[in-house]
Amino acid sequence: MELKQQSLGQIAIIGNGSWGTALAKILTDNGNQLDWWVRNEAAVEYINRRGHNPNYLTAVHFASNSIRPSISLAEVLDRATTLVFAVPSAFAQQVIESIPSEKWQHKQIISAIKGILPESNLLLNDYLTQNVGYDLNKYVAITGPCHAEEVADERLSYLTFSGLNDKWTAQVAQAFSCDYINTTSNHDIWGAQFAAVLKNVYAIGAGMAHGLGYGDNFLSVYITNCYREMYQYLVAHFNKVHPSNIQPDFHTSAYLGDLLVTGYSLHSRNRAFGTMLGKGYSVKSAILEMNMVAEGYYASRGMQSISRNYVIDIPLATCIYEVLWEGIEPEDAFRQIEKMLS
């Protein structure tokens, strides 16, 4: 089938998990026709035949002429001018390095990753500029608060778009706006993404607290302190790593709103992962039980490396890291967390 060009050029979704599927729904509902990189031939055949992703958000239906799925990343990149990158952060660097760097250099990239690349401990935009020679003015990051499951149900949701090129960022935001998606745009490319990384770590802690039997009163104080720690980290990060006139835009929903929904919602895979740990699952068992990646698991290790490298204290996130990577029992970690809260 022949796909027509859109205002963003030919768009391709890279990644077919639940978030990639939700974004594909938004874009096709807005009349866009997409290329879609899908990991296996069986899923490609199923999407072509049935109009559904067989593994994620299976209730979402795509019209037969709206999606062109393919297992060939090279072919998808050759056709596309704009890429919506929705591969989990744990696998993003592997995907990028599987294709010659020049294939990425001239693409307009919209990042839907809510994590850092674990091999390099970098945000996607920083990895691309350092290793691919990418022009950051062509990059936009999507943050929430927004769950894929509520997008599938067309329940009103909010997306924040952050980029250095204000005109391009606004254009991208408009492309995703529809009856059930409200969009805003800003210049806060690093802050919004690091907030998205940290909120996943804190959400694992919220799940642990729930699994351990702490109540709503405790959780509200825990989330308040997490937000304070996020604020302090970002201020220090901007001063030490990205000193510029671009400052965190703390008044947007991408900060507190995304932290709240990820820490409290039953849709949150990070919270669900933490709940299993609080109820006694080992880290390995909880990972095997999940059929989706909990971004906060890898993010916790990456944020520890970054915080140590730049001497920025994140004690609450450190307690979560110690459970996930150093074998500390959740009960012991939360006895320490209790002493930190105010």
pTM of the model: 0.91
**Together in a domain, 183 and 199:** no
Compute how many other C-beta atoms are within 10 angstroms of the C-beta atom of residue 210: 21
Residue 256's domain is classified under what CATH number?
1.10.1040.10
**Together in a domain, 36 and 72:** yes
Distance (Å, whole) CA 34 – CA 129: 26
For residue 70, give its domain range: 11-187
Does 1 fall in a domain? no
The dihedral through the CA atoms of 132, 142, 54, 262 has a sign that is: positive
Q: String of b and e for 59-81 (b: at least 16 CB within 10 Å)?
A: ebebeeebbbbbeebeebbeebe
**Together in a domain, 336 and 284:** yes
**Together in a domain, 200 and 312:** yes
**Together in a domain, 155 and 242:** no
Give SS3 for 6. strand
Q: Which of 187, 206, 224 is the last residue in one of the domains?
A: 187
Does 2 fall in a domain? no
Q: Which of 125, 160, 187 is the last residue in one of the domains?
A: 187
**Together in a domain, 255 and 232:** yes
**Together in a domain, 210 and 148:** no
Does 4 fall in a domain? no
Contacts of 307 (CB under 8 A, 6+ apart): 233, 313, 314, 317, 318
Residue 98's domain is classified under what CATH number?
3.40.50.720
Quote the pLDDT of residue 243. 60
The separation between CA 164 and the C-alpha centre of its own chain, rounded to angstroms, equals 19
Quote the pLDDT of residue 34. 95
Distance (Å, whole) CA 238 – CA 244: 8
**Together in a domain, 72 and 28:** yes
**Together in a domain, 195 and 300:** yes
Instruction: Work out how many domains the chain is built from and give that number.
Output: 2
pLDDT digits (tens, 9 = 90+) for 175-190: 999 999 999 999 899 9
**Together in a domain, 241 and 268:** yes
> Which residue type is seen at 126?
D
Cis-peptide, bond into residue 100, ω within 30° of zero: no
The separation between CA 242 and the C-alpha centre of its own chain, rounded to angstroms, equals 21
Give the ranges where the chain is alpha helix by DSSP (H): 18-29, 41-50, 73-79, 89-97, 102-105, 124-131, 148-152, 166-176, 189-212, 216-240, 256-264, 269-278, 283-289, 295-310, 315-326, 330-340
Contact, 198 vs 295, CB < 8 A?
A: no
**Together in a domain, 123 and 205:** no
Q: What is the mean pLDDT of each successive set of 10 residues along the chain, which is 342 residues long?
A: 60 94 95 93 92 92 91 95 94 93 93 90 94 94 91 94 94 96 92 94 97 96 96 88 70 88 90 96 91 86 94 97 97 97 92
**Together in a domain, 276 and 223:** yes
Distance (Å, whole) CA 95 – CA 73: 9
Contacts of 176 (CB under 8 A, 6+ apart): 23, 26, 27, 30, 142, 159, 161, 183
Q: Which of 146, 165, 187 is the last residue in one of the domains?
A: 187
Does 5 fall in a domain? no
